[in-house]
Amino acid sequence: MGKNCRFYVDIMAMHEEVTGSCNLVIVKKPDGETVRFVIDCGLFQEVEYDELNSVLPFNADNVDFCLVTHVHVDHIGRLPYMVKSGFYKPIYATETICKLLPLALNDSFKVLSSVSKRKNVKCLYSEEDVTRTLELLEPCKYDETIQVHENIKVTFLNNGHLIGASLILVQISYPGYEDINLLFTGDYNNKNIFFDVNPIPQWILDLPLTVIQESTYGDMNSNEITKCFQDNIKKCLNNGGTVVALVFSLGRAQEILYELRTMQKNGELDLQIPIYFDGKLAIRYTDLYIKDGLDVKDEMREFLPENLTFVDKLTRSAVLADTNKKVILTTSGMGTYGPAQTYIPEYIARKNALIQFTGYTAEGTLGSRLKGTEFGEVVEVGGLIAKKIANVEYTTEYSAHAKADEMIEFLKQFNNLKLVLVNHGKIKTKNIFAERILKEVDTKRVGLLGREYFFRVDPYGLVKTLSTKFE
Ligand SMILES: [Zn+2]
Ligand SMILES: [Zn+2]
């Protein structure tokens, strides 16, 4: 049937690189009906794409449903904007995401509204838009296939990237035609210390499939990762300094707490050294991990280190006044928002202090800017001008993303790959990873999903690539 098949889907990306995740799929049925759905609708964090935050290059009011892969702000931060723009249909997500999303969206709203106040511009959406978004949520169980439309079934599979995260399988069918099967990786990891990542069921491995594959670390293999966090911490404390570790509120914060606990248990971290944990959202998420359990496995339920103090606005000054050696865990992970705005300016100019980033730092964020700053250079941090004297370190050892070799192994499992569309990576990285897939994975085609092209797929695979401009 190939070229003349009247049953096909168009797959598009609204984002170009790592942040602002949003994919739109338009299904064309032989009976003439069109179905549209969106996978994630996140905020752009790369400064270069900031202006795109207020642009939705599709009509939100004719989107039939939305699927959410996980609760990182670059995947969910614009859901309320989509609702504000006219979207009113169901948003399907795992049960855990539905529990986390109220916290995530309310926090994202607070950050957005304070930034827009500072810039004297209108906020992207209101608190009411957040409430309306949450009302659209449809909680789903892992591994259960649900019918979301007459011709469309969806299955959420667990994914090590983050608690509640999923790989989403979308099966589109029409009588008389083979199914069109799409698998969205969202952000992917093959492991997680808090829960087990189940293997992909055989029936999915055997499907003729188009995989929409992330590529954040598509140019790096897992054996290139050096572990330095523990050594950096020990070195700093041995010199009598203060550690400021930047963590993401969800996942990374809890993982670093567990890491510190492990260090204490192994005698690598003196129990007398106080650990301060500052970040309202991070503390609330930690509370959820402990009280609700989310999907955390039993043996990981206790992850808090000894000598831990939760810090808030009122007690922060006491932490800053404490001149003894100590560890401060704080948000935001990229250093641009939250209490990091207080701690980084305070400690960046101090000898013996360590500013330790523990995750990805997007272009233009404070974490990324500090990377290119020399010792003694003057930097602008949180509205202050300071000399960079402290040691600023980065590690990818806790990364929540699979590395290139692990993603290749993931893709190799599938027995009938029609097409792999690479998204969610820097442009250069997407290219490197796409070439590698072509060499190492048994797939007919590989495409680069970005804002410039969309891909038309029918039950037999790729039909064509069309250049598009959303402007
Ligand atoms: Zn993510
Ligand atoms: Zn992401």
Cβ 140 vs Cβ 146: under 8 Å: yes
Contacts of 146 (CB under 8 A, 6+ apart): 92, 140, 153, 154, 155
Separation of CA 97 and ligand 2 centre (Å): 15
Same domain for 371 and 348, yes or no, is yes
Same domain for 262 and 340, yes or no, is yes
- Going by C-alpha positions, the residue among 210, 165, 163 that lies closest to residue 186 is 165
CATH label of the domain that carries residue 203: 3.60.15.10
Ligand number with the minimum distance to the CA of 333 = 1
Separation of CA 217 and ligand 2 centre (Å): 11
Separation of CA 76 and ligand 1 centre (Å): 10
CATH label of the domain that carries residue 252: 3.40.50.10890
Cβ 306 vs Cβ 296: under 8 Å: no
Separation of CA 73 and ligand 2 centre (Å): 8
d(CA 254, CA 6): 49
Report the pLDDT value the prediction gives residue 454, as an integer from 0 to 100: 87
Same domain for 338 and 258, yes or no, is yes
Same domain for 192 and 43, yes or no, is yes
The packing angle between helices 127-135 and 95-119, to 10°, is: 160
Residue 248 belongs to domain spanning:
226-394
Same domain for 139 and 39, yes or no, is yes
Separation of CA 14 and ligand 2 centre (Å): 13
d(CA 64, CA 322): 55
Q: Concatenated DSSP letters for 130-166?
A: HHHHHHTEEEE-BT-EEEEETTEEEEEEE-TTSTT-E
* Tokens at 53, concatenated: 């935050």
Separation of CA 23 and ligand 1 centre (Å): 15
Same domain for 187 and 64, yes or no, is yes
Cβ 379 vs Cβ 373: under 8 Å: yes
Of the three residues 359, 394, 429, the one that is the final residue of a domain is 394
Separation of CA 161 and ligand 1 centre (Å): 7
Separation of CA 68 and ligand 2 centre (Å): 12
CA distances from 161 to 197, 300, 302, 398 (A): 10, 16, 20, 11
Residue corresponding to tokens 């690189």: 17
Give the other-Cβ count within 10 Å of 460's Cβ: 17
Cβ 46 vs Cβ 362: under 8 Å: yes
Local confidence pLDDT in tens for the 471 residues of the chain: 455 679 999 999 888 788 889 999 999 999 999 999 999 999 987 777 777 888 888 999 999 999 999 999 999 999 999 999 999 999 999 999 999 999 999 999 998 898 889 889 899 999 999 999 999 999 999 999 999 999 999 999 999 999 999 999 999 999 999 999 999 999 999 999 999 999 999 999 999 999 999 999 999 999 998 999 999 999 999 999 999 999 999 999 999 999 999 999 999 999 999 999 999 999 999 999 998 889 899 999 999 999 999 999 999 999 999 989 999 999 999 998 899 999 999 999 998 999 999 998 888 888 999 988 889 988 888 777 888 999 999 999 998 999 999 999 999 999 999 999 999 998 999 999 999 999 999 998 999 988 778 899 999 888 888 876 543
Separation of CA 424 and ligand 2 centre (Å): 7
d(CA 311, CA 369): 27
Give the strand pairing for 453-458 and 461-467: antiparallel
Q: What are phi and psi of 186, to 5 degrees?
A: 55, -135
Residue corresponding to tokens 């299955």: 155
Give the HSE-up count for residue 306: Cα atoms under 13 Å, Cβ half-sphere.
11
Same domain for 252 and 289, yes or no, is yes
Separation of CA 187 and ligand 2 centre (Å): 5
Separation of CA 227 and ligand 2 centre (Å): 23
Model pLDDT for residues 411-422, shown as the tens digit of each residue: 999 999 999 999
User: 3-class DSSP state for residue 377?
Assistant: coil
Same domain for 256 and 286, yes or no, is yes
Beta bridge partner(s), residue 138: 92
Same domain for 56 and 154, yes or no, is yes
Separation of CA 75 and ligand 2 centre (Å): 6
CA distances from 343 to 4, 244, 349 (A): 61, 7, 11
Give the torsion through C-alpha atoms of 191, 16, 102, 302, to 10 deg.
20
Of the three residues 394, 425, 443, the one that is the final residue of a domain is 394
Same domain for 6 and 44, yes or no, is yes
Same domain for 424 and 349, yes or no, is no
d(CA 316, CA 318): 5
Of the three residues 394, 409, 443, the one that is the final residue of a domain is 394
Tally of structural domains, the chain: 2
Separation of CA 164 and ligand 1 centre (Å): 11
Same domain for 353 and 434, yes or no, is no
Report the pLDDT value the prediction gives residue 23, as an integer from 0 to 100: 94
Separation of CA 166 and ligand 1 centre (Å): 11
Report the pLDDT value the prediction gives residue 471, as an integer from 0 to 100: 39
For residue 280, which amino acid is it? K
Report the pLDDT value the prediction gives residue 53, as an integer from 0 to 100: 85
Separation of CA 187 and ligand 1 centre (Å): 5
* Tokens at 133, concatenated: 């978004």
Separation of CA 377 and ligand 2 centre (Å): 32
